Structure 1
């Protein structure tokens, strides 16, 4: 009998280069590189929008085989200024990726991301398919109105987590609760600093509680990085309340521009933020994509089954891309 061992993250590594790249008169992007400078370029796109990079994203990839590129998207994390909503939209983020690629002298790259990072990876691929080698995507989110309604209105995830959803609504008046997304955007753009802090914590807590089936009893004490919570809440609300291009099903309608490229798609069966049927719909239109449903995983990229699947996917893709070079 063959026993397959579960994979853990690669050992911690430090970047060999960190820099800030100016992309317009206002924004500078934090960029880091680690691993093998001569390896296959891989760019990992973080979620949110607004969550910023985790050093653990480096650890999905074999540092001997990959040139690992992480960056904080404009307006969040270590990018400057942060948080910032000015000139911050999907076309700008796609353009930022292209500028980073050009700045680093990369011809083509493996593009990876989870949740909003998967959204952004698809948007970049659709705009620049000739610059992508392949994709590894986790927790598919296409930004449609149905997905936003699932997350923020009472007939979706709220039915599974009614007490947590009530906490999410608690900072809103009865009238504001009729349109939580727009109401949160108003609170988060308030001049009242206390109101903004309360709203950002409540927004971030709702998502944290939905993200993992391995970690329970998450409360406000788990929000230890107020800057991250503020970036996540302000930028997510800004994008989702003004997501007309995405909510019109733009990504799925344009997916034929990347379907010639190989993709490994990972999705937790119990993902309560990004629904599995969305990944299933996407894969049905993508003949070169392979969907792997993780039977005991939720949304987080750092649950044990997701770590195992992502590291194995990265190894599989490294071997495939090496073969393509020969």
Structure 2
């Protein structure tokens, strides 16, 4: 784990609408695509540790507006234009055609699992298998949990989170209005950085972290600004999906093998979402870990994900 990786291809793909998406490849064998979380987190070198690079050709893709793609949401609000779930699905297809890939093994973590399912449901013949961790369906109840209900467990941090948008009630029932209020502030140059700092402090507080912790990606103010802008942009619009759309349409991907890995006490995404998916998805299995790990790059998650990709055979 954490070894040096030989990147044999690093490039940008013009996907139109003024966007160029960054991608990188390493390894050889079955094509696999990593879909990062956030939305707006970007890929990291540790994502290669989720695969045996002697068996997989792994592609990392930074989604519109983040990572090394252009333009960046931290630099300009133009990065939020033509930046929706439908656009990201189109980008994955454009990249597949550009690389000459017949079908992918998809890995998605957190928001990346939402995007993986949305892509697979749109293009079911282009997915060979899936592995997902910290599974998120981006349903309304899950957004309410993350930005509202879980405040009952972290009342101090939640009070600070809500205080930054004092015109919105701290009642979890007003979660949508709270996210929209943050999105509005993040578009105002005079208010944007302070709003990004408050948003990201909440994102880290539920995992016992702090945005100023040494070595944290949140320690970079530009990362905080771009991340918060993209997250609130997507979640204000419910990711441009109908509520429970992914669960309702799971029959479209019923034949695709999928391993879901989820921590029972994940503070970000309740276990109920992947549990319901497994019950409706004949080819899916759910592995429940103890503890609170959410990130695909947490040590326990890395081990479980790597075991899941190692056993896939084609």
TM-score by length of 1: 0.88
Q: Which runs of 5+ in 1 are unaligned?
A: 1-8, 322-326
CA distance in 2, matches of 1:176, 1:227: 29
Query: Is residue 201 of structure 1 aligned with residue 193 of structure 2?
Result: no
Displacement of 1:143 in angstroms is 1.2
The answer to whether the 8 Å contact 1:188/1:199 transfers is yes
How far apart, in 2, do the equivalents of 1:136 and 1:95 lie?
21
**Alignment-derived partner of residue 159 in structure 1:** 152
* Map of 1:95 onto structure 2: 90
Gaps of 5+ in 2: 74-78
- Output one character per residue of 1:79-134: Cα deviation in whole Å (capped at 9) or x when no partner: 00011100010110000000000000000110111110000000000000001000
Q: Give me the whole-angstrom Cα distance separating, in 1, the residues matched to 2:160 and 2:258.
A: 38
> Do the aligned partners of 2:17 and 2:82 also contact (CA within 8 Å) in 1?
no
1:34 maps to 2:26: yes
Superimposed CA distance per residue, residues 114-167 of structure 1 (whole angstroms, 9 cap, x where no aligned partner)? 1100000000000000010000011111111111111112xx111111111122
State the match for 2:101 in structure 1: 106
Contact 2:43 2:61 in 1 (8 A): yes
Whether the aligned pair in 2 keeps the contact of 1:297 and 1:305 (CA below 8 Å) is no
* 1:253 paired to 2:248: yes
Q: Distance in 2 between matches of 1:106 and 1:68?
A: 12
* Residue 266 (str. 1) matches residue 261 (str. 2): yes
- Say whether 1:75 aligns with 2:65: yes
Q: Counterpart of 2:7 in 1: which secondary structure?
A: coil
2:47 is the alignment partner of 1:57: yes
Contact 2:131 2:309 in 1 (8 A): yes
- Superposed CA RMSD: 1.6
* Divergent runs of 4+, >3 A: 174-178, 219-222
Alignment-derived partner of residue 171 in structure 1: 164
8 A contact 2:47–2:297 mirrored in 1? no
110-119 or 137-146: bigger deviation: 137-146
Superposition map of 1:38-49 within 5 A: 39-49=29-39
Task: After TM superposition, give the deviation of residue 219 of structure 1 in Å.
Answer: 4.5
- Please list, as runs of the form range in 1=range in 2, the aligned pairs for 1:99-248 lying within 5 A after superposition: 99-153=94-148, 156-175=149-168, 177=170, 178=174, 179-192=177-190, 195-210=191-206, 212=207, 216-221=208-213, 222=216, 223-243=218-238, 245-248=240-243
Kept after mapping to 1: 8 A contact 2:84/2:239: no
Contact between 1:142 and 1:246, CA under 8 Å: does it hold in 2?
Answer: no
Distance across 2 between alignment mates of 1:203 and 1:26:
27
Q: Is the contact made by 2:84 and 2:240 (CA closer than 8 Å) also made in structure 1? A: no
Q: Distance in 2 between matches of 1:265 and 1:133?
A: 15
Asked whether the equivalents of residues 16 and 34 of structure 1 are also in contact (C-alpha less than 8 Å), the reply is yes
**Distance in 2, Cα, partners of 1:220 & 1:202:** 12
**Structure-1 residue corresponding to 2:16:** 24
SS in structure 2 at match of 1:220: coil
Whole-angstrom distance in 2 between the partners of 1:100 and 1:197: 33
Alignment partners' CA distance in 2, 1:226 and 1:314: 34
- Give the TM-score normalised by structure 2: 0.92
Whether the 8 Å contact between 2:34 and 2:107 is mirrored in structure 1 is yes
Q: Tell me if the contact between 2:234 and 2:240 (Cα under 8 Å) persists in the aligned partners.
A: no
Going from structure 1 to structure 2, the CA distance change for 1:228 and 1:247 (only over 3 Å counts) comes to farther
